[in-house]
A and B are shown apart, each in its own frame.
Chain A
Amino acid sequence: MRGQSFLDRLKQQFGDGKIIGGNQEALDPWIEVSPPALVEVCTYLRDEPTLRFDMLQLISGVDYFEPDPKKAAKVSGQPHMELVYHLWSVPNRVSLVLKVMLPRWKNDVPGELPVVSTVSHIWRTADWHEREVFDLSGVRFVGHPGLRRILCPEDWVGHPLRKDYEMPLEYHGIRGK
């Protein structure tokens, strides 16, 4: 789903504070949703008869942070964690990209994972995808039925796809790095 008119329609539905903006010129046009409004917007997108985004394809966490101060200038914007939701409508055969911007750390306390509400009750597939994002990118999903690591072992330390992740030197007697 693309175009300024669609964005305006969503803004009218929810008000400006919930649909923050987006980029309609990008290769895959995207819409930015404020974190507290995510569940409301997603429920609407799935249930509205003219939209019917009934399939969630992917949730990905993208960490915008450059640990190297020399290279940091090249990275766009302030350091933040981005969640990208790729939606697909089976009856209408159109896709939609939602983005949620989160702080890298909750309350700027390193180690406190950013939080966002779960959408696993809207699309069942989000259950595993959110576990994967939690495991690898370190985002906490509030209301998730069982937020455990999925690909890494349960006792793994850290979230490997964060840009400031450091490889462990040792894991259960296995030498790392």
Chain B
Amino acid sequence: MSIAADDQRIIEFDVRTDEMLVNMGPQHPSTHGVLRLVLRTDGEIVSEVTPHIGYLHRCAEKIGENLTPRQWIPYTDRMDYLAGMNMNLGWALTVEKLLKYDMPAKGKHLRVIITELGRIASHLVGMGAYGLDLGTFSPFLYAFREREKILDLFEEACGARLTYSYITVGGATADLPPGWLQRCEKFLDELEPIIAEYHALLTTNAIFVRRTAGIGVMSAETAISYGCTGPVLRGSGVDQDLRRDGEERFTEMYDGYAFEIIVQKDGHYPQDHAYPRVPQQAILGDCWHRFYVRMLEVVQSMDLVRQGIDRYSRATGSWGEPVKLAEKLPKGEAYLETECPRGQMGFYIVSEGGSIPWRVRARSSSFCNLSVTHELCQGCLIADVPAIVGSLDVVMGEIDR
């Protein structure tokens, strides 16, 4: 049949594209995030992206102005529910800074072990969920398989699997149970060979590389100007990690630990000889680099946990005595940022005296990381939007608070 291929009107109808507004999301709260993106598209090309947030807003800051700092610890869990331990630590350190309380060494090592395990658990979800965003399902299941083992360890230590409230002002709620360190070491030995499996599944996968390499490239200047932190910042080649550069109260936890910042220098990542090299198509600051930084950080954290176990078992003294710490806050204000899996998480506390803070403020890392979306998505394809947003590894509970 000659469906008038030479009919000018039909050809025009087939290839003509119109500008169109497309709503992406919001999805169900139990999925990766309740994020609504409004895309202005022309055919497959995205010309403008506007993120709309606030669907999970639970007024955590307002609640913080009506509770004592220790009562507010559970609310920090519910912000970044994938790395609750790291959030507990950030708030606990901020309050301790205001109280000028210094943790005994043993408590610091305990906190290093726990928060680095939390970082592994969070990056595993970040990696698995990113695979899911790009249409592959198995890495998601494998990542959760390993994460569950970390959650088992956490459950043993504090009784909870998602919202721990374990690290608290003045230490932790309990010491590590007997035999826990051995089980933790056993887990690390098991995890080590599995990392290679993840790299085989995603990092070197031809489809994965084509979906991520060269997509959503962010320059170092853009990343800094938007306040991006964590793997998103280091993926753009900026050498900053608060475990080394942060405030003394935080960095002294890592005193004597041997570790390198995962950032590309002269085309190489530290200790990347055992892992796949950067593919040809990848550009510094693209989705692939952000993903790769996270993968290498898992290995880094495993090393830190091992060192922490060694130091913790040799340290003498107390792991912290939260009960004895005075509930009365001195007049003043304190701001402290810690390196959470998603970036720099800051807490700001203002006290006018008394046991309840005057003002509680959370600087969430995903909030800043997400704000760069509209810049990264300009001119990309619709299918690249999930790849870009996924590579930022945002947790909506932290953005909306």
Contact = CB atoms under 8 A, between A and B. Distances in A.
Interface of A: 26-28, 54-58, 60, 62-64, 74-76, 84, 86, 90, 93, 95, 97, 123-125, 127-128, 136, 149-153, 160-161
A124 B221 CA distance: 11
Nearest to B56: A151
B344 A57 contact: yes
Contacts of B224: 54-55, 90
21 contacts: A28-B333, A57-B344, A57-B346, A58-B346, A58-B363, A60-B348, A60-B359, A63-B359, A76-B331, A84-B348, A86-B346, A90-B224, A124-B375, A125-B225, A125-B371, A151-B53, A151-B400, A153-B54, A160-B59, A161-B62, A161-B359
Contacts of B361: 58, 60
A107 to B, nearest CB: 25
Contact of A90 (B54, B240, B334, B353): B240
B359 A62 contact: yes
* Residue among A64, A75, A150 with max Cβ neighbours from chain B (10 Å): A150
Given A75-B352, A90-B224, A152-B54, 16 more contacts: A27-B334, A55-B225, A57-B227, A62-B350, A62-B359, A63-B359, A74-B354, A84-B348, A86-B346, A86-B363, A90-B240, A124-B227, A124-B375, A150-B54, A151-B53, A161-B65
A105 B134 CA distance: 49
A35 B53 CA distance: 29
Contact of A56 (B61, B227, B245): B227
B142 interface: no
B330 to A, nearest CB: 9
Nearest to B354: A74
Interface residues of B, number: 42
Contacts of A136: 61
Nearest to A52: B224
B367 A128 contact: yes
B225 A124 contact: yes
A58 B335 contact: yes
A90 B240 CA distance: 7
Contact of B333 (A27, A56, A74): A27
A75 B352 CA distance: 7
Interface in B332-369: 332-335, 337, 344, 346, 348, 350, 352-354, 358-359, 361, 363, 367-368
B98 interface: yes
Interface string B353-392: 1100011010100011001100100000000000000000
B211 interface: no
B97 interface: yes
B226 A125 contact: yes
A76 B54 CA distance: 33
B371 A26 contact: no
A124 B370 CA distance: 12
B51 to A, nearest CB: 9
Interface string B15-37: 00000000000000000000000
Contacts of A90: 224, 238, 240
A103 to B, nearest CB: 18
Contacts of A93: 240, 245
B359 A152 contact: no
A27 B98 contact: yes
* Residue among A74, A127, A128 with max Cβ neighbours from chain B (10 Å): A128
Contact of A55 (B98, B227, B359, B372): B227
Interface string B215-257: 0000000101111000000000010100001010000000000
